[in-house]
Structure 1
Amino acid sequence: MKNIKLVWFRNDLRTRDHRALYSACEHVAQSANSAEMGIIAVAAISSKQWMLQDESKSRVQFWLANLHSLKDELAGLNIPLKLIHAETNQEIPQQLLRLAKQYNVAALYFNDEAPEYEQQRDQQVEQLFHQQGIGCHRYEADLVLPAGSVLNQQGLPYKVFTPFSKAWRQQFILSEQGPLPAPQPLLSTVIESDNIPEDIGYGLRLGADWNKQIWPAGTESAHRKLQQFVLDQFTDYSQLRDFPAQTGTSSLSPYLSVGVLSARQCIAGVQAYSDDPDWFYSQWVTELIWREFYRHLLILFPEMNRWKPFKPDIEKKIAWQHDQAKFEAWCNGETGFDIVDAGMKQLLETGWMHNRVRMITASFLTKLLRQDWRLGARFFMQHLIDADFASNLGGWQWSASVGADAAPYFRIFNPMRQADRFDAKGLYTKQWLDLDHPDDSNMNTDLLGDALPSDLGQRPQPIIDYAAERRRSIEEYQ
């Protein structure tokens, strides 16, 4: 077979709304010699790079499970999936080129990603392929609206979310962009797909467990979950989303993180299944726009990729305490503040934490323990199944008041008051910190998880005096 197109999959493990795959298939279908053409898909196993990027084991495992599902989807399109093994990003360009030469590839297709280290890798790939006379086609598929397309009247990027979201919505309406369908099946190919090895390094085996009951792999599972959320929970989302013991959120973030589901598909799903005439201005769509906002910032302000604060003038006045004992107490859920500890226990047990509790735990670490926000951001990346570099970075800088549109310096979450407001019956904290589990029909037993600590013993004493540390923090920020 001649004139092969190579489609490179990364954190976009889907066949629908995949611009690179769709474009490659269209180019094959439109060719006069389409019978002499074909498509090969490729993905990279990069265990050392995953470690360098603080990828959590649960996220890597979920990515691999969805790669398996993608392989089956591609087989239905007569597209084989090949694997390359590269320890780090530096090895990927040559590995891709070797595969391209092996199959006489005429062009490479892939979708762009936001983080700088991914962009640098992709630029190296593009340069190498062009040097070898092989075409390289790049597309924007992770973002609904490309970075740099949502600007203020001065032609500059927005640094505050509210005007960005307003402009984003206006531009989206004008763009009238819907998700792409899956491409039509191609003629059968004689090339065989590679087997995904059971032992892929990184301390993982293919059979390693993540919570398959909550997040079954594959695009069909993701779309069923999206449809169920819109039909059953979307209407009450804004009222219930802050209560961690209730089923109030979509829990779609792991699918978005590995690209099994795109943001554009989420918006289309709300439009298709919701009866709310104001769905486009709903809080859930606003959360999707926050995802866009952080990605735009990451691309337009690349220093953020290097763990630099968006507002360095504020951070240079903060004296981080660097207290290892307090940081470890936070990591282990042993601070003596129940809702903080419950959140950290849930994270350690399930690889997931409710968003309200993420904000509480982040505020506690940065504003009350005064530990460097980078420590918390890395810890979250290393443990979350839905770890997303842009959103995680933006959220932690927001909590520490050093990011774009950050929380005011005087906004310090009171963990006791937060528990009273959002877990008044103690259902969430009891589920994670007590032996006696409460029986309540509103409890989100799926997201709280099945595996619970067997015996946590006596609760630890608070490691700080809340009132005193709040006062010190405000004085320092002022």
Structure 2
Amino acid sequence: MRLVLFNRDLRAIDNTALIEAIDGTTPVIGCYMVTPKQWEQHDLSPIQADLIYRRLGELESELSDINVPLIYGGSDDFSSANDWLIGYCLELGINDIYLNSDYEFNEVQRVTSLSQAASTHHISVHTFSDKCMLAPGTVLNKQGGYFKVFTPFRKAWQNQFSYAEVRKPKVSAEVFLPQEGSVSLDDVFDYPRQDSSQWLVSTKDILARLRQFSDESARHYNTERDIPSIDGTSQLSPYLAIGALSVRQCIARLHYDAGNEPLSEGAQVWLSELIWREFYQHLTHFEPKLSKHHGYLDWERALRWPGEDSWFERWCEGETGYPIVDAAMQQLNQTGWMHNRLRMIVASFLTKDLNIDWRRGERYFMSKLVDGDFAANNGGWQWCASTGCDGQPYFRIFNPITQGERFDSQGEFIRTWLPELRGVPNKFIHKPWTWSEFASLAYPEPIVDHKTQREITLALYKEAKDQF
């Protein structure tokens, strides 16, 4: 008998470990381990926990259709989960464990420890690269090392890319598990949950969203993706984050809709974003320090963060006095999602206007995001803080006023999330403190002066770099 261990690959279609495990003659079971203490350590957001919970119900049904029962186990952390798994395999006579690799340090250690423990009981652990289109270690520079700059990585990736095959699992041989001692998901899912019902979780609905975006919206992605007041992004990131959708499915759909024609400019830009996702996954694989709260660049260790705790709290609550920042934080706090352009704006504001350590923002995002993914989140925060691999230059500091004027010129997004500013004329919507009637608004004055903070930030970064 074989066991497929699911983690962040909650799908039956195009799941490499599942497909490789099913040979039609050997019974296969699926397993999902709930590890609340580990999740807490990794800042899993309650809204993503709810999305996972709901998606598992769909996965259980899909696996049942191919004769693969899904069983659940509950343990505090990865270590105790491994102990449970080995015991379960010995009890049922399971000889092989199949799973797809993750690249974060704790997840890598989990599989290493599982493999070592399993081998002492003559149980084989089979791992597969499934998270990326091209696995870490397959896209290398001429010196045989990993790429440290995105653009040459993208070029090498595209040179190696071949058509993305999407596979479906076969029907497995039937297996009958003992009912005695079996547990339901509710029995073990001991973790806070926040309503995620705005995100549909059936494969049918997820694929419909992918098809709609690829066929109708992708062509405009290059011109609409930076405007937060319109639905110009794919909003598929929550499904990619929990593995309800694979990157191969996304890329295959783009090329299918293009037919024999080249990808549209918009589709090419979206493909580039998917390659950014791969870039950060590869970095996580090659640099374990990223999973240990370290900056990518050595001089980051000397960078001082003198921002005040009260500033961080006001940033979290969306009360900085800068409308585009506050509206974005309200969107995050209320929905668990934030538009990508806004993620860059608020991250730059926290690190370079408020001089607060990027790690605090990184953790806050993970604790709130429905699409929280360690590699993408860490990569994005370090890019904005100029401490990461191929990050923006440290002297590039977003002005929150001009960013708002550029990407929300009429204040539509701001008024959606900050109702207290709905009566402010367009002329003043991005700096309402200059409006003659500002005192009547239930809205704070700017927490800091951007121009002043910019000079402080430049000095802090120069000081840190001069030490190396």
Aligned twin of 2:229: 245
Aligned twin of 1:135: 124
Letter in 2 for 1:92: A
Contact 1:339 1:429 in 2 (8 A): yes
* Cα deviation 1:202-231 (Å, max 9, x = unaligned): 234xxx522x23x11122221111001011
C-alpha distance in 1 between matches for 2:132 and 2:81: 24
C-alpha distance in 2 between matches for 1:189 and 1:232: 43
Aligned twin of 2:56: 67
Q: Which one of the candidate residues 144, 151, 161 is aligned to 1:162?
A: 151
C-alpha distance in 1 between matches for 2:188 and 2:284: 34
Contact 1:271 1:279 in 2 (8 A): no
Aligned twin of 1:180: 167
C-alpha distance in 1 between matches for 2:141 and 2:102: 24
Q: Which one of the candidate residues 4, 8, 12 is aligned to 1:11?
A: 8
Letter in 2 for 1:179: V
Aligned twin of 2:17: 20
Q: TM-score, normalised by structure 1?
A: 0.89
Give the drift of 1:359.
Answer: 0.2
Give the drift of 1:435.
Answer: 5.2
Q: Secondary structure at the match of 1:189?
A: coil
Q: Which one of the candidate residues 452, 455, 464 is aligned to 1:471?
A: 455
| Alignment pair present for 1:231 and 2:228 | no
* Cα deviation 1:301-323 (Å, max 9, x = unaligned): 1111111111022x234211141
Contact 2:29 2:69 in 1 (8 A): yes
C-alpha distance in 2 between matches for 1:112 and 1:190: 28
**Compared CA separation, residues 198 and 431, structure 1 to 2 (3 A):** farther
Give the drift of 1:279.
Answer: 4.7
Q: Secondary structure at the match of 1:316?
A: helix
C-alpha distance in 1 between matches for 2:66 and 2:138: 34
Aligned twin of 2:47: 58
C-alpha distance in 2 between matches for 1:186 and 1:23: 11
Aligned twin of 1:262: 246
Aligned twin of 2:200: 216
C-alpha distance in 1 between matches for 2:7 and 2:422: 40
Q: Secondary structure at the match of 1:346?
A: helix
Q: Which one of the candidate residues 280, 296, 313 is aligned to 2:282?
A: 296
Give the drift of 1:471.
Answer: 1.7
**What residue ranges of structure 1 are gaps of 5+ in the alignment?**
439-455
Contact 1:307 1:374 in 2 (8 A): yes
Matches for 1:280-429 after TM superposition, within 5 Å: 282-313=268-299, 315-429=300-414
C-alpha distance in 2 between matches for 1:229 and 1:457: 39
Q: Secondary structure at the match of 2:343?
A: helix
Letter in 2 for 1:222: I
Q: Secondary structure at the match of 1:11?
A: coil
Q: Which segments of structure 1 move beyond 3 Å, counting only runs of 4 or more?
A: 435-438
Contact 1:351 1:385 in 2 (8 A): yes
* Cα deviation 1:20-40 (Å, max 9, x = unaligned): 1101103xx3xxxx2xx3111
Letter in 2 for 1:12: D
Aligned twin of 2:262: 277
**Compared CA separation, residues 122 and 84, structure 1 to 2 (3 A):** same
C-alpha distance in 2 between matches for 1:425 and 1:177: 41
* Cα deviation 1:29-86 (Å, max 9, x = unaligned): 3xxxx2xx31111000111111111000001110111111000000000111111111
Q: Secondary structure at the match of 2:133?
A: coil
Letter in 2 for 1:57: P
Letter in 2 for 1:283: V
C-alpha distance in 2 between matches for 1:420 and 1:169: 35
Give the drift of 1:255.
Answer: 0.1
How high is the sequence identity, in percent, across the aligned residues? 39
* Cα deviation 1:158-192 (Å, max 9, x = unaligned): 1000000000010113xx441222x1212333226
Q: TM-score, normalised by structure 2?
A: 0.91
Matches for 1:106-145 after TM superposition, within 5 Å: 106-145=95-134
Letter in 1 for 2:411: G
**What residue ranges of structure 2 are gaps of 5+ in the alignment?**
424-439, 463-468
After TM superposition, the structure 1 stretch with the greater mean CA deviation from structure 2, 142-151 or 287-296, is: 142-151
**Compared CA separation, residues 366 and 436, structure 1 to 2 (3 A):** closer
Aligned twin of 1:40: 29
Aligned twin of 1:445: none
Give the drift of 1:9.
Answer: 0.5
Aligned length: 441
Name the Cα RMSD after superposition.
Answer: 1.8
Letter in 2 for 1:16: I
C-alpha distance in 1 between matches for 2:301 and 2:251: 39
Q: Secondary structure at the match of 1:142?
A: coil
C-alpha distance in 2 between matches for 1:209 and 1:267: 30
C-alpha distance in 1 between matches for 2:118 and 2:187: 31
Q: Secondary structure at the match of 2:143?
A: coil
C-alpha distance in 2 between matches for 1:198 and 1:232: 42
* Cα deviation 1:92-150 (Å, max 9, x = unaligned): 11110111112110111000001110010111111111110011111000111111111
Letter in 2 for 1:330: W
Give the drift of 1:15.
Answer: 0.6
C-alpha distance in 1 between matches for 2:441 and 2:2: 59
C-alpha distance in 2 between matches for 1:334 and 1:239: 30
C-alpha distance in 2 between matches for 1:76 and 1:102: 25
Give the drift of 1:195.
Answer: 2.3
C-alpha distance in 2 between matches for 1:76 and 1:316: 52
C-alpha distance in 2 between matches for 1:250 and 1:357: 15
C-alpha distance in 2 between matches for 1:9 and 1:196: 14
Letter in 2 for 1:291: R
